[in-house]
């Protein structure tokens, strides 16, 4: 193709050179025929738009250059003459344009087919990865549950052992018998075990992700451990000389437990904020119970004020997201009881939020008071049952 264009250019140059001189009519006829054949050949062989554009220019030049000889060429060029050959060139030009368009479409189709194939393969690979990841996630969740269970069991065992050894401690004095018991403790390396338990719990907190159902339990565990440690730790602090190895470990444990508490609370508040965020409720993030209460009240007040500006459907969506999907079904049954048990939330605060929710519902026509009452009663029942369950567990522990 390139050769053809170069040749054509050569012919044009040659003929231009010839034009500078005089030409016989036979020369004109021959040039016309030669260039026509070459142009037709090049048009038939054109494979891209750039080549075709150049050739179209050549065709226009060719037509214009021989136009003055039209009458002579119509007689001399047999059988088509000038007019016939120019028509044929135009048809070749149209064919070439269609051919290039078809080639471009073919290329596009081939490229799209490749893309489809590649996406198909990628899709299959992603599906297989997803299946694998789902299996891994399930296995990981199982492992986390097992680990949590094991850590809890070990914590309980360690404190049961310590409790049994300190069962007779009711004074601050350490008698000779008590020292003997402490030496048994040292032999069993209980202090190191407690330290390790705290470290493991912290590592567990920082390395795993938890479902909203697991988080209240984590806070419960941490507080339970801390409370157990408070009794034992004080006794151990008094029993050991502060500079001794055991004495140092006891004060280290105090620091570790404080860190664990901070971490647990971080996870706890983050989890609570995420519950509201997942329902797209515009409650300002909080980091403690007081803030949470204040922000929820602020949110409800704002919603009550905005009822006039929102459609009935929008109001219902926001209300349902708060009253049914978060406060009633998630927070009150599992989070609030834990918070109340550990002094992070009060009965009054809960009652205030319930009352506000009722006021909010009253301002919304579509939801009847009786419906809301049923919902709140249902939520209250769930909360009571959850409280009873958690209380039973605590007592059995």
Partner 1 sequence: MKKVLVLISIIASLTIIGCSSLQLQPADFAWAAEEIVEVGAKGMVDAKRYSVAFNVTALLAKEFATDSAAAKDTKEIRLIRDKAGFYYLTGKKFKNVYVLAQGDGALSVSNTLVISVEKTMDDPKFDQKDTYVELWNGKDKFQLTKGGAQPVGGKK
**Where along the sequence are the contacts to partner 1 (CB under 8 A)?**
24-27, 29, 72, 75-76, 78
CB nearer to partner 1: give 74 or 214: 74
- Chain centroid offset of residue 4 CA: 58
Left if phi > 0, otherwise alpha if psi is -120 to 50, otherwise beta: which for 280?
Answer: left
Q: How far is the CB of 108 from partner 1 (least distance, A)?
A: 47
CA separation for the pair 379, 392 (Å, rounded): 20
CB nearer to partner 1: give 76 or 208: 76
Q: How far is the CB of 61 from partner 1 (least distance, A)?
A: 23
- Sequence-distant (6+) residues with CB within 8 A of 243 are none
Residue 338 contacts residue 216 (beta carbons within 8 Å): yes
CA separation for the pair 54, 20 (Å, rounded): 24
Q: How far is the CB of 79 from partner 1 (least distance, A)?
A: 9
CB nearer to partner 1: give 27 or 249: 27
CB nearer to partner 1: give 84 or 285: 84
State the residue for tokens 């399930």: 138
Q: How far is the CB of 72 from partner 1 (least distance, A)?
A: 6
CB nearer to partner 1: give 78 or 243: 78
CB nearer to partner 1: give 74 or 251: 74
DSSP state string for 211-272: -TTTHHHHHHHHHHHHHHHHHHHHHHHHHS-TTSHHHHHHHHHHHHHHHHHHHHHHHHHHHH
Helix axes 190-207, 81-165, angle to 10 degrees: 160
Hey, what are 104's tokens? 């471009």
CB nearer to partner 1: give 34 or 104: 34
- Taking residue 28's Cβ as centre, other Cβ atoms within 10 Å add up to 20
Q: How far is the CB of 4 from partner 1 (least distance, A)?
A: 25
Helix axes 176-188, 215-239, angle to 10 degrees: 130
Per-residue b/e over 124-153, b at no fewer than 16 CB within 10 Å? eeeeeeeeeeeeeeeeeeeebeeebeebbe
Give the H or E element holding residue 363.
Answer: none
CB nearer to partner 1: give 24 or 164: 24
Q: How far is the CB of 25 from partner 1 (least distance, A)?
A: 5
Q: How far is the CB of 47 from partner 1 (least distance, A)?
A: 35
Q: How far is the CB of 106 from partner 1 (least distance, A)?
A: 42
CA separation for the pair 195, 252 (Å, rounded): 8
């Amino acid at each position: 193709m390139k050769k053809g264009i170069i040749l054509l250019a050569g012919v044009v140059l040659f003929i231009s050179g010839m034009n500078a001189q005089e030409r016989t009519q036979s020369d004109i006829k021959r040039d016309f025929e030669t260039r026509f054949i070459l142009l037709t050949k090049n048009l038939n062989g054109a494979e891209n738009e750039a080549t075709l554009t150049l050739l179209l220019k050549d065709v226009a030049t060719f037509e214009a250059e021989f136009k003055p000889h039209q009458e002579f060429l119509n007689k001399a060029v047999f059988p088509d003459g000038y007019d016939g050959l120019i028509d044929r060139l135009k048809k070749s030009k149209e064919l070439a344009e269609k051919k290039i368009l078809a080639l471009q479409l073919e290329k596009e189709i081939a490229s799209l087919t490749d893309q489809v194939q590649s996406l198909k393969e990628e899709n299959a690979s992603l599906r297989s990865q997803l299946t694998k990841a789902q299996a891994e996630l399930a296995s990981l969740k199982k492992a986390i549950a097992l680990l949590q269970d094991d850590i809890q069991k070990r914590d309980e065992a360690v404190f049961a052992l310590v409790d049994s050894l300190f069962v007779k401690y009711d004074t601050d004095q350490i008698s000779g018998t008590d020292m003997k018991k402490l030496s048994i403790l040292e032999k069993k390396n209980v202090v190191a075990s407690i330290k390790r338990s705290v470290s493991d719990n912290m590592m567990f907190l920082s390395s795993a992700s938890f479902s909203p159902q697991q988080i209240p339990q984590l806070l419960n565990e941490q507080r339970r451990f801390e409370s157990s440690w408070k009794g034992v730790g004080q006794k151990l602090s008094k029993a050991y000389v502060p500079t001794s190895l055991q004495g140092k470990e006891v004060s280290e444990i105090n620091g570790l437990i404080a860190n664990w508490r901070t971490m647990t609370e971080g996870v706890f508040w983050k989890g609570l904020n995420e519950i509201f965020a997942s329902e797209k409720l515009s409650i300002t993030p909080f980091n403690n119970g007081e803030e949470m209460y204040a922000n929820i009240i602020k949110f409800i007040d704002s919603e009550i004020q905005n009822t006039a500006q929102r459609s009935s459907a929008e109001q219902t969506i926001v209300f349902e997201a708060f009253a049914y999907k978060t406060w009633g079904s998630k927070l009150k049954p599992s989070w609030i009881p834990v918070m109340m048990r550990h002094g992070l939330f009060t009965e009054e605060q809960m009652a205030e939020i319930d009352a506000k929710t009722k006021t909010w519902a009253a301002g919304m026509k579509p939801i009847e008071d009786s419906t809301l009452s049923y919902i709140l009663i249902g939520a209250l029942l769930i909360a009571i049952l959850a409280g009873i369950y958690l209380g039973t567990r605590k007592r059995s522990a």
